Amino acid sequence: MKLSVIQENLARGLAVVGHGVASRNTLPILSNVYLGTEDGGLRLVATNLEIAVTHWVPAKIEEKGATTIPARLLSDVVNGLPNEKIDISLLPDGRVHLKCGRSASHLRATPADDFPQVGAAGERVTARISQKELRAALDSTVFAAAGDEARPILTGVLTSFTGEKATFAAADNYRIAVAGAALAEAAPETSIIVPARAYAELLRLLSDVDDLVEITLTPAKNQLQFKLGDTMLVSRLIDGQFPPFQQVIPTSHTTKVTIVRDDFLRAVRLAQVVADASAHIVRFAITPEGGGAIDITAAADVGDHAAHVEAKVEGEGTTIAFNAKYLVDVLSRVEADQFSLELTGPIAPGLLRPLDGRDYLHVVMPVRTPS
């Protein structure tokens, strides 16, 4: 293997794939990044066996070949070099020689044959969606997936394609987030479960642009590939049946509160400072009199807090308690000016909807407290 590449391009590529490097070294090879000549350029790959991130770097190829180098070692060396041409060659003794200006390094390498194979894509793209649409949908749902492995199925995000619409649903035992997004074209009906950790890594790669992401289900239907520009992420899928979350989403309400997001979020965050010392519980008393208002209170051994927030209230007055963290999570990520909060008494789930027309809803389970 012998090639030349610009330092800036290689450094950027290593930063992109670096998130795919295994943080826990179950296999030493997973600490490495794969370098291989392909399609007239340099292909970089890193994987932790759950996801694989690939990035193509423009390069001048003199001799084809492939090898693997410890990811952190290679990144540290490349980032320390000037933004000039780097000559890379694989030596007969298995080491990799990097030369840039007056600097030269010899790095330990491992044969490419030892690197895990990344799943091949299917012949046809399953769906196409803009980066902007996908980013907004994932940013408003992924955080609601379960973080522990007690119920592995809930560590994933149910991803469905129907016609020209994609739906993403995430849930744990306390909340449900569901977002719809427009596809660029009609897609075959598909329903799969993607690990939330994979989507979290994909979010690092997405930008607020209209460029399309190509989503492809692999032939074995056990991996999903996302292709955006010169970068590709492949994720394994979770096998199993996602819980019927639709049955938990309220279909009616007795109280509807229209809140200004910034005012409500600020009040809840302040109450959370005290609530975090007492199971994160914040109480809400909703009254329709005088146009409507919400009284927000929290109490713990460290002290107490109260706030009064004006809001439009339709229907009955009620009281309810929520885990403050769950409200802050959704309100801080979905940046609509106003939300509706639909309630049916103190022990029924609350339903949050942004009032900017987006296809999104968020269910939060209440906390039972002594009367």
Residue 273, C-beta contacts closer than 8 angstroms, at least 6 positions apart: 305
At 368 the pLDDT is 87
Amino acid at 168: F
Verify that 223 and 280 share a domain, yes or no.
Answer: no
pLDDT confidence bin for 39, thresholds 50/70/90: confident
Phi, psi at 200, each rounded to 5°: -60, -40
- Domain match, 138 and 98 both: no
User: 49 — alpha (psi -120 to 50), left (phi > 0) or beta?
Assistant: left
120 belongs to a structural domain: no
Question: What local confidence, expressed as pLDDT, does residue 179 receive?
Answer: 98
Closest by alpha carbon to 11, among 53, 40, 44, 39? 44
Average pLDDT over residues 166-189: 96
**Residue 369 falls within a domain, yes or no?**
no
Please, what is the average pLDDT of the chain?
94
Helix (H, G, I), strand (E, B) or coil at 119: coil
Q: Give the whole-angstrom CA distance, residue 90 versus residue 109.
A: 9
pLDDT higher than threshold 60 for residue 371: no
Evaluate if residue 21 carries a pLDDT over 80.
Answer: yes
Q: Judge if 192 and 286 occupy the same domain.
A: no
- Final residue of a structural domain among 63, 85, 114: 114
Specify if 119 maps to a domain. no
> Which pLDDT score, from 0 to 100, does residue 321 have?
97
Q: Percent of the chain having pLDDT more than 70?
A: 98
Q: Is residue 370 one of the residues assigned to a domain?
A: no
Average pLDDT of the residues in 196-215: 96
**Domain end marker among 74, 90, 114:** 114
Region 40-60 average pLDDT: 95
Are 242 and 187 in the same domain? yes
Q: Are residues 131 and 238 in the same domain?
A: yes
**How much is the average pLDDT of 77-93?**
96
- Write down which residue in 210, 228, 246 finishes a domain: 246
Question: Tens digits of per-residue pLDDT, 148-169?
Answer: 878 899 999 999 999 999 999 9
Whether 371 is covered by a domain: the verdict is no
Q: Is the pLDDT of residue 140 over 60?
A: yes
- Which residues lie below 8 Å from residue 284, measured CB to CB, with a gap of 6+? 294, 295, 296, 319, 320, 321, 322
The verdict on 200 and 270 lying in the same domain is: no
pLDDT in tens, 335-367: 999 999 999 999 999 999 999 999 999 999 999
Task: Report the CATH number that the domain containing residue 318 is assigned in CATH.
Answer: 3.10.150.10
Predicted TM-score (pTM) of the model is 0.92
- Please tell me the chain's helix, strand, coil percentages from 3-state DSSP, rounded to the nearest 5: 25, 45, 30
pLDDT at 22 over 90: no
The whole-number pLDDT of residue 150 equals 80
> Residues 259, 225: one domain?
no
| DSSP state letters, 204-222 | HH--SS--EEEEEE-TTSS
What pLDDT was estimated at residue 120?
Answer: 61
Give the percent of the chain with pLDDT over 90: 88
pLDDT, tens only, 263-287: 999 999 999 999 988 889 999 999 9
Cα 175 off chain centre by: 17
**What count of Cα atoms within 13 Å lies in the side-chain half-sphere of residue 211?**
11
Residues 137 and 241 in one domain: yes
135, 94: one domain: no
Query: Is 276 found in the same domain as 319?
Result: yes
Give the Cα-Cα-Cα angle 332, 333, 334 (nearest 5 degrees).
105
Q: Answer yes or no: is 272 within a domain.
A: yes
Q: Residue 255 falls within a domain, yes or no? A: yes
Is the pLDDT at 119 greater than 70, yes or no?
no
One DSSP character per residue, 295-353 reads EEEEEETTEEEEEEEE-EEEE--EEEEEEHHHHHHHHHHS--SEEEEEE-STTSPEEEE
Q: Do residues 215 and 276 both lie within one domain?
A: no
- The reply to whether 85 and 6 lie within a common domain is yes
Tally the domains of the chain. Answer: 3
Q: Are 237 and 221 in contact (CB under 8 A)?
A: yes
Q: Does the pLDDT at position 123 exceed 70?
A: no
Domain that holds residue 37: 2-114
Q: Does any domain span residue 122?
A: no
